[in-house]
Structure 1
Amino acid sequence: MKNYRAIIVEDERLPRLSLLQKLETYHPDIEVVACCASYEEALTAILRHRPDLLFLDIQLQGHTTLELLRELKEAIPLPHIIFTTAYSNSEYLLQAIRFAAADYLLKPVDVSDLAKAIRRIEERDAAVSASSPQPPTPSGKAPFRTLNGTLYAGKDEVVYVRACGNYSSMMLAEGEEIVLERLGVIEGKLGERHFIRAGRNLLLNRDLIYKVNRRHKSCTLRTPGGQEYSVELSAGGLEAVERR
């Protein structure tokens, strides 16, 4: 059985604690890495932790669930989502489920319904793994779509990647390449543990970080060959780099 990392997004304290307790009691294989009470908390936590599973309240104060999903989808591949709702018949709920291909649970969450929803996700993952063999790549490198074909690059060759809408600018030691993929997809291919998400639009190779300039909000990366690259950082990106 796969171990899942999960985040709970619920703006009411008692339902949030109740769901957390049920997961800890009946599903110890699911690690809850954050509990969030607001849209802003949820966005920050999801981008930081990249959970496999998201328990998402269908209504968030001041925002809609669809707003959160659209913003997340711009930055990362969406995790599995289980919606929680107090309403059994809601057109808004149907829209959200169509958007994210998710399951949903009625509040208060029933233990047996929770188990069934998690089992469906496990079965879905198992089916995808069985039917999707990974194509071989040269020297273990990952393939990236470019304007003229395919670029094969490994984690050690990529200095940083900056998102530019629907495409990304990938800086290699040999020069810049335009990759026709979103930042979250690129991060998944390169391996999240090797790169730091320095804000919503920037990936930095963790091993190549040479120095950080807090005053000018910038970071210098140095390749093994001695090439240096200076990258401007947002306030959030600066904090992420200093936490590494």
Structure 2
Amino acid sequence: MTDPLRVLLADDDSLIRTAIDAILRPAAGIELIAQVADGRAAVEAAVRHRPDVALLDIQMPVLDGLAALREIRTVAPAVRVVVLTTFGQDDYVAQALHAGAAGFLLKESAAEELEYAVRAAAAGNAYLSPKITRQVLDRLPPAPVRPSEELIKVGMLSDREREVLIRLAQGLSNAEIGRLLFVSEGTVKTHVYHVFAKLGVDNRVQAAMLAQRTGLLDASPA
């Protein structure tokens, strides 16, 4: 029998902790092992409990989520950290990814997205909310250069994988892509996995940026 994924939750808002508890506790194969209300306690709990995944809020007392993320990556590097916040500012996203976050989700994300992000992080993958992907991409200036190496990678994609990449870069979730393309969400997840592997990227933002740099979005459908 496979051991459950062990999750640590750090958020100073008791209502948020209760809501996340309600989402993750009944999820098959996931165990919420500890809940804390500040960043310092999160670091200590990560060292003590060695969870598979830590969910960290950005704004917490004593030690904020970004500082806690950096410490956890130092003292408990095996713990995969997903940043969970009500704020979607680009600087938070960039700092979190640079510090080694395995995911970045807005608290408004759907329940299934939170569960998926936890499982993806535990599996060694990076997951970013589709809304964050779109937000980051919208702030980037048009890329004047189309690197030949990246064009070759895009050329390796099948027609369906290329279509999934375009929709992903437009900020659509896997479920939304599935409805648009008339395929199951599981099929979309498989396509996304293959897209990441062929492009050599770790998350949706990186994939979307590559799609933009190579001009794939220039003639894409709205």
Comparing both chains, which one has the higher relative contact order based on Cα–Cα distances under 8 Å and sequence gaps of 6 or more? 2
| TM-score after normalising by structure 1 | 0.46
More helix by share: 2
More strand by share: 1
Structure (1 or 2) with the larger CA radius of gyration: 1
